[in-house]
A = this chain, B = another copy of it.
Amino acid sequence: MLSLPIQFSKLLKRFLLLTIFTLFTTLAHAEKVYKLKLAETWGPNFPIFGDASKNMATMAEKMSNGRLKIIIHSSNKHKSPFGIFDMVKSGQYDLGHSASYYWKGKVPATMYFTTMPFGMIASEQYAWFYHGGGMELMNELYGKYNLMSFPGGNTSNQMGGWFQKEINSVADLKGLKMRIPGFAGEVLAKLGAKPTNIPPGELYTSLERGTIDALEWVGPSLDLRMGFHKIAPFYYTGWHEPAAELQFLVNKKKFEKLPADLQEILRISMKASAFDMYIQSTHESAKNWSTMTSEYPNIKVKTFPKEVMTALQNANDTLLKEHAAADPFAAKVLKSQHAYLKQARQWTNMSDKAYLDSTAR
């Protein structure tokens, strides 16, 4: 009878070891914390744009009960605001928050996934991304670089910029020194303007001292703090960035290593944060415009005359035709966007636009 307890004790020991092993495996699985590092183009505490990645990280951490932690490095930390594409591609960072059109020098067709002059407004562009093939095209392109790309927050329609003088004809654009970077600058250059790029910190002084005649930044949401309304009388409505969408970049291999639930948490956090930023931009623009006009009631909101708009549209068409001829992928994206815009704009015109037109008192 003495042998039985001993045998039983051995069995107990074995069972105990197995139980402890199972317990630790379970705990390790349940509590494993995945830390992802995100590099953003913006400086620390940059309003609205910077809120988008913070908001995303907070949602992801709360929804995962702390299992998914996203550590954000602003440009003061990584010193490479326009190196996000490369740093996420290489795996130096797991995630990025930037804008797709910053990579046009590297991969030209990335440009079309931010916004295009005379292109879609935010509701149309989101419909194109999620239902019109936009996401598929974007990820076909980024997939070649071990990257995934997701909408990262919309600025809403951007203003055409602050001008010292009225623009009454295409002739008024000749020699106009304007801070307007990227593709929109190329369009303006076709009409004789002199587009330049100037660091943000020098913009106010450049406009005040006449180094430049005009500049575009974003819209009231971010223009207010720059103070341009204090030194330029004309605020032109937009044509060049009707729906600038920022971008979340994700290292594909890192994404695939996450458990399925955390992949979904990351995906939905990015999507919800992009939408939140669009709505925040709408709110901040409305609020800040109200502040600007109450302090400076003489700001004149102007729209370029029909002649100028037509010339800009034609210059834009010409440039896009050149792009399409040079790059089959660009041709594919442009074809998709043009077809979608044509269909979506009919609906916009008979819904929101007809409503705004007919209910104006």
**Which residues of chain A (267-281) have a CB below 8 Å from chain B?**
268-269, 271-272, 275-276, 278-280
A265 partner residues in chain B, CB cutoff 8 A = 63, 265
Assembled-state Cα–Cα distance A255/B84 (Å): 40
Instruction: Give the number of copies in the complex.
Output: 2
Other-chain residue from B19, B127, B260, B356 in contact with A348 (beta carbon distance below 8 A): B356
Q: Are A289 and B347 in contact (CB under 8 A)?
A: yes
A157 partner residues in chain B, CB cutoff 8 A = 351-352, 355
Assembled-state Cα–Cα distance A126/B122 (Å): 14
- Determine whether A353 belongs to the interface, using a CB cutoff of 8 Å to chain B: yes
Q: Kindly name the residue among A122, A309, A347 whose own CB sees the greatest number of chain B CB atoms within 10 A.
A: A347
- Determine whether A62 belongs to the interface, using a CB cutoff of 8 Å to chain B: yes
Q: Kindly name the residue among A124, A127, A276 whose own CB sees the greatest number of chain B CB atoms within 10 A.
A: A127
Q: Are A351 and B159 in contact (CB under 8 A)?
A: yes
Known: A62-B264, A260-B62, A268-B63. A286 touches B127 (CB 8 A): yes
Q: Are A123 and B354 in contact (CB under 8 A)?
A: no
Stretch at the interface among A7-15, A86-94, A105-113, A222-230: A7-15
Stretch at the interface among A162-170, A188-196, A236-244: A236-244
Q: Are B20 and A361 in contact (CB under 8 A)?
A: no
Assembled-state Cα–Cα distance A259/B30 (Å): 15
Assembled-state Cα–Cα distance A30/B48 (Å): 36
**Smallest distance from the beta carbon of A255 to chain B beta carbons, Å?**
15
Known: A12-B16, A23-B23, A132-B283. A356 touches B351 (CB 8 A): no
- Determine whether A326 belongs to the interface, using a CB cutoff of 8 Å to chain B: no
Assembled-state Cα–Cα distance A292/B132 (Å): 19
Q: Are A279 and B30 in contact (CB under 8 A)?
A: no
